[in-house]
Structure formats: structure tokens, C-alpha cells
Amino acid sequence: MDTVKADIKLNYLGLKNYEPIWRAMQTFTDKRDENTLDELWMVQHPPVFTQGQAGKAEHILNPAGIPVIQVDRGGQVTYHGPGQIVLYPLIDLKRHKIGIKALVNGIEEALIQTMAEYDVVAKRKEKAPGVYVDGKKIASLGLRVRKGCTFHGLAFNIRMDLEPFFRINPCGYAGLEVTQLSELNPDAEFEKVQEILIKNLCEILNFTCKMGPAHHNQKT
């Protein structure tokens, strides 16, 4: 039996500083009501470390001038920088009839399916949210639920400078290696990967994607 798909609005925000986008997610979540359309925010951030609610200072080894921002998502420390797909799903879980565990599973599955299109075998890891290739982390995941609605989201390494990951224990794991899609398949083009990821995510989560007004060309 086919289920009716809900609409979700996709906004491409381009390259934006982390903190204003985080504050905007909080405001959107606080002000939304039962009629507010769910949204996906696609963005890249200038170099920044973000420390989750459970984050421990010892996992930041040497920020060396890169800002560190304490935030209200789950998880430990991670790095954002240009060339990384950052996708924030702003979803009313109750209205969409989906639990947080199913949402996390769906996001991970969309990442796995997207990489499969580039002949890359990615896997989940028990009790370590995110997606891995040969034990190396390629995508991080950290969400917050407020008023039954999600914000924060996923970060997927495509074609970026990975050096800052050596300045932290990624996601709180000392020695955890990090990789990116362009190292595993040189044909991976940022914007194309984005399109495939959105298509897979909307399919898995049962959404119909509607383009928002803020659509910027953001080749990397």
C-alpha cells in the first residue's frame, strides 16, 4: 500500500558561519506550530569545531585558531569545513509519525545508499552514530529534539581538507580515522552527491521535496 508523502521544503543556504545557522534552527523550532512545513537546510560552514552536550574538553587536542562552539546537539566534538555536506532536517516527528531512532536509521541508510552509487561500501557501527568505510568515519550525525521536532543533523565529508580532524578526537574516539568520498571515488562531485543524498533521504523518510527560495549555486 502506497503511503501519502508529506511535503518538505529544501533550502540551499550556501557557505554560512555556523553560529547564526544554529541560532536560526533554534528559532525556527521554537516558533513552529502544527501547520509549519518541515524543512531541510543544506549548508557548508567555514572551519569550526562543534562540541555536543556530552562533549569533553580533553577531546579537543589543539584547535590552533579554529573556533570551538559548545552546542545543544547530542554527541561529542566534530569538525565542519568547506567541501563537507551539512544537512539539517527540521522535522515534526509526531506529525510525520516517525521516532528519533527511525529517523537516525533513515539518515544513515540514505548516506549508505548514496555512497553505494559511487561503488563505496559504507556501514553503520553499533552504538556509534554515523557512517563508516573500512572503519574510517565518513559522516557524522548529531540531533536535538525540542517540542517533538528535530534540528541539527548530518555532516558528510566529500572534498575537503581533513587536517583539522587530527586536532580532535573525532566524536570522542581517540585515534579514529576519518575519510571522504573524493578519496574513495575521484569522480564524486559535490553538487551531484548532494542531489543523490537528498533524493535518497526523501525517499526513505517518505517526503516530497519542494525547493525553497534560498537556492544558491555552491560548487566546491
Tens digits of residue pLDDT in 51-105: 988 778 888 888 989 999 999 998 888 999 999 999 999 999 999 999 999 999 9
For residue range 18-35, what is the model confidence (pLDDT) as tens digits?
999 999 999 999 999 999
Quick one: average pLDDT of 93-118? 96
Is 171 annotated as catalytic?
Answer: yes
Give percent of the chain above pLDDT 90: 77
Where do the domains of the chain lie? Answer: 6-210
Residue 41: count other Cβ atoms within 10 Å of its Cβ. Answer: 23
pTM: predicted TM-score of the whole model, two decimal places:
0.93
- Kindly indicate whether the domain formed by 6-210 is annotated with CATH number 3.30.43.10: no
